[in-house]
Amino acid sequence: MAKTVKLLSENFGKIRPDSLEDYLNAGGFEALKKAFTMKPLDIIEEVKKSKLMGRGGAGYPTGSKWEQLYRIEKFPKYIVCNADEGEPGTFKDKLILNYDPMKLIEGMIIAGYVFNSNHGYIYIRGEYPDSQNIMQTAADVLEKTGYLGENILGSDFSFHLHVRTGAGAYVCGENSTLLNSLEGKAGRPRKKPPHLAEVGLFELPTLVNNVESLANIPYIVLNGGDKYASFGTEASGGTKLVCLSGNVVNRGVYEVRFGTTLREIIYELGGGVPNGRKLKLVQIGGSSGPCFDETLLDTPLCYDATWKNGITVGSGALLVVDDSNCVVDFVKCITEFFVHESCGKCTLCREGNKQLLKIINKFTEGTASEKDFDAIRRISDAMTNGAFCGLGETASRALTTCLEYFKDEFEEHINGKCRAGVCSFEKGGE
């Protein structure tokens, strides 16, 4: 029986976000105190042992990222928390921001201590004004009480937190774009290398981590990396906040151990598909994630296991789509999203998404032909292999994976049939 765990979400709903007292009573800042007694490299060692993989989507091992930044001998360094949470179907960072902001801040202070960095920025999505207020209030409280600012807890370490608002574009969640946006520049990505660890915010070495990644740091410091890792699998340490949305009975955010299967999450926690409908497809990781059908539901949530099945954990979003939906219509909505969100800088993404949408529209209008599969393949291959940033690279993933699993439905559309009856022409098929 699948269970949720309360490791990261322990305080959710139990403490007042603006109350230092509540947070301290819940064990807050014990990790920071412990961190101050540790050597930075020892903290990094614990983070490595924890097998914490970046929770922002790319799944890069946080310990390695920290080690790389640590080795760069250029100062000052900056700590940036990515709270842009723009990935559709992803709403887990918001819970941390709203229900346990001080834990996130504690994680950032510890990061600051590790890298001897005195400034942290938290870049919060423009659509989360309440989260901005809560974070700012929490930061103000901590500033007044000596947990932020000069000489934290009487130590000689100082850390200032700056709460900033996002510009409202999806691509601003991409880490280099986020830094440009923080600097007041246009929201378009930078060429990497140079890596942000070398040339980051204001061209200085910078750590960019997701909210969930940073909020796990206090637990890891306090309880040790091994303990954290033990919640998960061989490849993926700890727990994950999973966002369940779409055609499921119980939508919401669940904290689960890595290793829990997707079926358990969807059926046991989510209560399965409502209204007697059948599950048609699942998209994992948000709009940029891959789609698959029920054949992969027994895949455990784990960076390794998903990878072996050609999918990814991504941000931890699970979108369930039932059989009242049309696959072609579904990918059309996703492609419309990417057409809207492409920053326009590079040819493949700017022109590619536009052309992909044109082709998909031919399918939904019944004017597509076999040749269009070729064009989709050419464009999506080129985008995946050659777009400037992650947005263009992943924009066609839903389309290509749906073609893998549901090509027959696309073919039916060529013949003017939409089995779900969603597309404008006559209902039929199967």
Ligand X SMILES: Cc1cc2nc3c(=O)[nH]c(=O)nc-3n(C[C@H](O)[C@H](O)[C@H](O)COP(=O)(O)O)c2cc1C
- Chain positions contacting ligand X, by CB under 6 A: 54-58, 60, 62, 82, 84-87, 170-171, 173-175, 208-210, 213, 389-391
**Residue 193 binds what, of ligand X, another protein, ligand SF4, none (CB under 5 to 8 Å, by partner type)?**
another protein
Q: Does 238 bind ligand SF4 (CB under 6 A)?
A: no
Residue ranges that bind another protein, judged by CB under 8 A: 169, 186-188, 191, 193, 339-348, 350-355, 358, 371, 374-375, 378-379, 381-382, 384-388, 393
**Residue 339 binds what, of ligand X, another protein, ligand SF4, none (CB under 5 to 8 Å, by partner type)?**
another protein
Min separation Cβ 109 and ligand SF4, Å: 32
Min separation Cβ 343 and ligand SF4, Å: 3
Q: Does 349 bind ligand SF4 (CB under 6 A)?
A: yes
Quote the tokens at residue 300. Answer: 């455990």
Q: Does 392 bind ligand SF4 (CB under 6 A)?
A: yes
Among 135, 171, 317, 318, binds ligand SF4 (CB under 6 A): 171
Question: What's the per-residue H, E or C state across the chain?
Answer: CCCCCCCCCCCCCCCCCCCHHHHHHCCCCHHHHHHHCCCHHHHHHHHHHCCCECCCCCCCEHHHHHHHHHHCCCCCCEEEEEECCCCCCCCCHHHHHHHCHHHHHHHHHHHHHHHCCCEEEEEECCCCHHHHHHHHHHHHHHHHCCCCECCHHHCCCCEEEEEEECCCCHHHHCHHHHHHHHCCCCCCCCCCCCCCCCCCHHHCCEEEEEHHHHHCHHHHHHHCHHHHHCCCCCCCCCEEEEEEEECCCCCEEEEEECCCEHHHHHHHHCCCCCCCCCEEEEEECCCCCCEECHHHCCCECCHHHHHHCCCCCCCCEEEEEECCCCHHHHHHHHHHHHHHHCCCCCHHHHHHHHHHHHHHHHHHHCCCCCHHHHHHHHHHHHHHHHCCCHHHHHCCHHHHHHHHHHHHHHHHHHCCCECCCCCCCCECCC
Contact of 419 with 310, CB cutoff 8 Å = no
Residue range at the interface with ligand SF4 (CB under 6 A); choices 77-85, 207-215, 387-395, 403-411: 387-395
Residue 329 CA to its chain's centroid (Å) = 25
Residue range at the interface with ligand SF4 (CB under 6 A); choices 103-111, 137-145, 338-346, 420-428: 338-346
CB nearer another protein, residue 41 or residue 186 = 186
CB nearer ligand X, residue 86 or residue 289 = 86
Q: Does 168 bind ligand SF4 (CB under 6 A)?
A: no
**Residue 378 binds what, of ligand X, ligand SF4, another protein, none (CB under 5 to 8 Å, by partner type)?**
another protein
Contact of 387 with 351, CB cutoff 8 Å = no
Q: Does 387 bind ligand SF4 (CB under 6 A)?
A: yes
Among 346, 398, 403, 418, binds ligand SF4 (CB under 6 A): 346
Among 28, 57, 189, 286, binds ligand SF4 (CB under 6 A): 189
Among 201, 343, 379, 398, binds ligand SF4 (CB under 6 A): 343
Q: Does 164 bind ligand SF4 (CB under 6 A)?
A: no
Residue range at the interface with ligand SF4 (CB under 6 A); choices 232-240, 293-301, 310-318, 381-389: 381-389
Among 277, 345, 362, 419, binds ligand SF4 (CB under 6 A): 345
CB nearer another protein, residue 169 or residue 229 = 169
Residues that bind ligand SF4 (CB under 6 A): 171, 188-189, 342-346, 349-350, 387-389, 391-392
